[in-house]
Chains A and B, each alone.
Chain A
Amino acid sequence: MIKNERVVVAMSGGVDSSVAAYLLKNQGYEVIGISLKLWDGEGLSHKVGRTCCSFEDIRDASLVCSKLEIPFYSFNYSENFREKVVDRFAEEYFAGRTPNPCVLCNHHVKFDQLFYEAKKLGASYLATGHYARIEKNEEGNFKLLKGIDASKDQSYVLFQLGQEHLSRLLFPVGMYTKAEIRKIAEENGLPTADKAESQDICFIPNRDHADFLEKHFKEKIPGIGNFIDRSGKILGAHKGYHAYTVGQRRGLGIGFGTRTYVVEIKPKTNEVVLGIASDLLSQGLLAVDVSWVSNLSFSEPIHCGVKIRYQKTEIPAQIFYDQKTRQAHVNFNQPSGAVAPGQAVVFYQGDQVLGGGFITRAQYEI
């Protein structure tokens, strides 16, 4: 079966994108593997945990392509990455928010550059190893759906993709479970079959974002500030607001007898507000830069499920969208915890991703 169509597969050096390339080759596509080298900072030298574009990862991607007898290239986009992801990641923390760098990277670097390279290489499609699915309906509209494997679903980080993107994208592994993907890799002798999952932020392999900011953005570090309670009473000293995220419980270095959480970060005064679990509960949130996967209009308010963090279960909510400002008020059906400004909120209807935006603040009262 020869499809005679060229497809560029974005290879991370992990098992998922390896199998994606394998599956497409089997489907008869002319497959080209590419990797983007995004980060070449010193994160590479302390080898703690796995990273996403290290020497080993690019080598592994290359070995997989050799095994599959397809061409492989790696492109250097570290400049763009530093500016559009790392700098922005830092800015967000210094603004008291909690960014998701993978969402930033997908939106500002990865997909743009991958589509650019795919086009210049004469490819009809770009494919990635994300656990998500794309479906075309009768009207010719593309739907973005969750991956079959609920525990691995990555549709959350893809919510900014629009019709134009989806029409040229393939997610070959979205139809499989992780276990099946590993099995395919093993059965076909792909060198990445046993490779461990990458869980970390690629440029912070030791998972300590505060340490990273202190090393790379020294001049912006706020210094020691105060923990306060909701009423403004000083509870003790903290090491600078950049080191905390909303919902954080561990590593506060302060004990109050009850379980204490970060409930708010106030960058202007370098204050971190602490409270108990119920203080984190909010009625909803305000999201900005809202985008929709499909141009279909929905009757308002939209009743759907929302995810306010990558690893969090969906909660039912109503969405009130203002097209002019591209803002959305999201009202939870039940009060919900740990809305972190800076994170993405993604709207789901069943398996389908409707769209999403970025959280600017929690709403405690409606």
Chain B
Amino acid sequence: MRFYFDYNATTPLCEKARQAFTQHIDLMNPSSVHTEGRRAKELIEKARGKVSGYLDCDADQILWTSGTTESNNHLFTSLAQTPNSRKKIITTTVEHDAVLKPLENLEKKGFIIKKISVDRHGKLDWENFHHELDDQTLLVSVMLANNETGIIFPFERIILEAHQKGALVHTDAACAVGKIPLFFKKWDLDFLSFSAHKFYGPKGVGGLLVKKDLTHPLLFGGPQERGLRAGTENVPGIIATAEAIRFSYENLEKENQRLVTLRNLLKNGIQAIDFKAVFHEAIEAQLPGTFNVGFSDVQGQTLVTRLDLEGVASSVGSACYSGTMQISRVLREMGISQDEARGSLRFSFGRFTTEEEVKGLLDILRKILPEMSP
């Protein structure tokens, strides 16, 4: 029996999304003029409408992409090509590489990138944020929830302050969509990126929400998505995304309460084991299904491996290109010592996780941790 505790890497596909995907896998090209083409077109437009309802945006504000990484790259590339005297982009030190790497690329093109640090509970350094935020700031790009710790940034405040200085606001919401309520219009966001496979949908599909303008395509070669994203659409993926987002937002409040209970069960269980553990979490807002714990005297990468052999899927930091584990950069940026970060790992869970599974995980931890102490 396997226990899956890596929902932040990807969630299991929900049944509705699986059905939608498989049932529509042989639809024809949505750009075709014939009946079959129009049928495909109709379904991806319907999906656009459904998804917009859950994200509080207009259907036309959704641009389908292959996922968050593409959405981020598209936005940053487009901004860089649009003439503007503002050259500063503010972000945080704990963003995913899908934000930091494309921004580093912009730095080479003359943009000034300022990364605001956070404290060990993930709280933004507001003083520095205010210091950097000025009338030269083109964009503020901050993740909504952190993928490694589940810490949620206070977004309404960020948007308000950025807009006061005339800056645009983007959020990488890969880890937030489907987990917390989102209000694109109400919050007055300018851009938002998401991936379907983080909320029980298929991999390889996602979107970029755009309030007003996105001027330049990233991919050229066709009229799809109003000419902004050439290439035949991922038709079954898009249709499945609409089912997945509905699934993820169903009875969300109740589900989140359930996850809080599981989280407490896990936390109390770990505290009861005679093995020094630190919990990397927020004092304020926190995704309940993201649980980051540091064990002393054992390497996170070794523990993840041992857990896998025992039947538990978990993760340490984010995996690099070859599946090699890295010490968490995010934890290091939070000011957590190298040794502590080295012993940290993430359990992330969600809709399909049961109390029995958490108890099973605790049984395994109780068994292997004493064996692994030096």
Contact = CB atoms under 8 A, between A and B. Distances in A.
Interface of A: 32, 34-35, 37, 55, 58-59, 62, 71, 73-76, 79, 116-117, 120-122
Interface of B: 298-299, 301-303, 305-306, 308-309, 320-327, 371-372
Given A37-B324, A59-B322, A62-B323, A76 B301 contact: yes
8 contacts: A58-B323, A71-B308, A74-B324, A74-B325, A75-B305, A75-B324, A76-B326, A117-B302
A116 B321 CA distance: 24
Given A75-B301, A76-B301, A120 B323 contact: no
Nearest to A121: B306
A120 B306 contact: yes
B308 A73 contact: yes
Minimum-distance CB pairs A-B, first 8: A58-B322, A74-B324, A37-B324, A73-B305, A120-B302, A76-B324, A55-B322, A120-B372
A79 B327 CA distance: 10
Contacts of B302: 75, 116-117, 120-121
Given A75-B305, A121-B305, A122-B371, 18 more contacts: A32-B309, A55-B321, A55-B322, A58-B323, A59-B322, A71-B308, A71-B309, A74-B322, A74-B323, A74-B324, A75-B301, A75-B302, A75-B325, A76-B324, A76-B326, A120-B302, A120-B306, A121-B302
A62 B321 CA distance: 13
Best-buried of A71, A76, A79 by chain B (most CB within 10 Å) = A76
Contacts of A62: 322-323
A73 B324 CA distance: 7
A79 B339 CA distance: 13
Q: Is the contact region of chain A dominated by helix, strand, or loop, or is it mixed? A: mixed
Contact of B327 (A76, A117, A122): A76
Contacts of A35: 324
A34 B301 CA distance: 12
Nearest to B368: A122
Given A75-B302, A76-B301, A76-B327, A121 B322 contact: no
A54 to B, nearest CB: 9
A37 B309 CA distance: 20
Contacts of A76: 301, 320, 324-327
Contacts of B301: 73, 75-76
Contacts of A73: 301, 305, 308
Best-buried of A34, A59, A121 by chain B (most CB within 10 Å) = A121
Given A75-B301, A76-B301, A120-B372, A58 B324 contact: yes
A273 to B, nearest CB: 44
A38 to B, nearest CB: 10
B327 to A, nearest CB: 7
A62 B372 CA distance: 25
A62 B324 CA distance: 11
A121 B306 CA distance: 6
Nearest to A37: B324
A148 B321 CA distance: 37
Nearest to B327: A76
A243 B306 CA distance: 45
Contacts of A121: 302, 305-306, 309
Contacts of B303: 120
B298 A120 contact: yes
Best-buried of A32, A58, A74, A117 by chain B (most CB within 10 Å) = A74
A360 to B, nearest CB: 34
B105 to A, nearest CB: 16
A73 B309 CA distance: 10
B72 to A, nearest CB: 23
Contacts of A37: 322, 324
Contacts of B324: 35, 37, 58, 74-76
Contacts of B323: 58, 62, 74
Contacts of A58: 322-324
A121 B308 CA distance: 10
A37 B326 CA distance: 10
A34 B304 CA distance: 13
B325 A122 contact: no
A319 B302 CA distance: 43
A37 B321 CA distance: 11
A120 B326 CA distance: 18
A52 B90 CA distance: 39
Contact of B306 (A59, A75, A79, A122): A122
A116 B301 CA distance: 12
Best-buried of A58, A59, A62, A120 by chain B (most CB within 10 Å) = A120
A154 B327 CA distance: 33
Contacts of A32: 309
A71 B2 CA distance: 14
Contacts of B325: 74-76
Contacts of B320: 76
A74 B322 CA distance: 8
B95 to A, nearest CB: 21
A141 to B, nearest CB: 28
A35 B309 CA distance: 16
Nearest to B306: A121
Contacts of A120: 298-299, 302-303, 306, 372
Contacts of B322: 37, 55, 58-59, 62, 74
Nearest to A34: B305
Contacts of B305: 34, 73, 75, 117, 121
A280 B327 CA distance: 48
Best-buried of B309, B327, B371 by chain A (most CB within 10 Å) = B309
Contacts of B327: 76, 79
A117 B300 CA distance: 11
Contacts of B321: 55
Contacts of A75: 301-302, 305, 324-325
Contacts of A116: 302
Contacts of A55: 321-322
Nearest to B372: A120
Nearest to B319: A74
B37 to A, nearest CB: 39
Contacts of A122: 306, 309, 371
Contacts of A74: 322-325
A116 B308 CA distance: 17
Contacts of B308: 71, 73
Nearest to A13: B322
Contacts of B326: 76
A35 B323 CA distance: 11
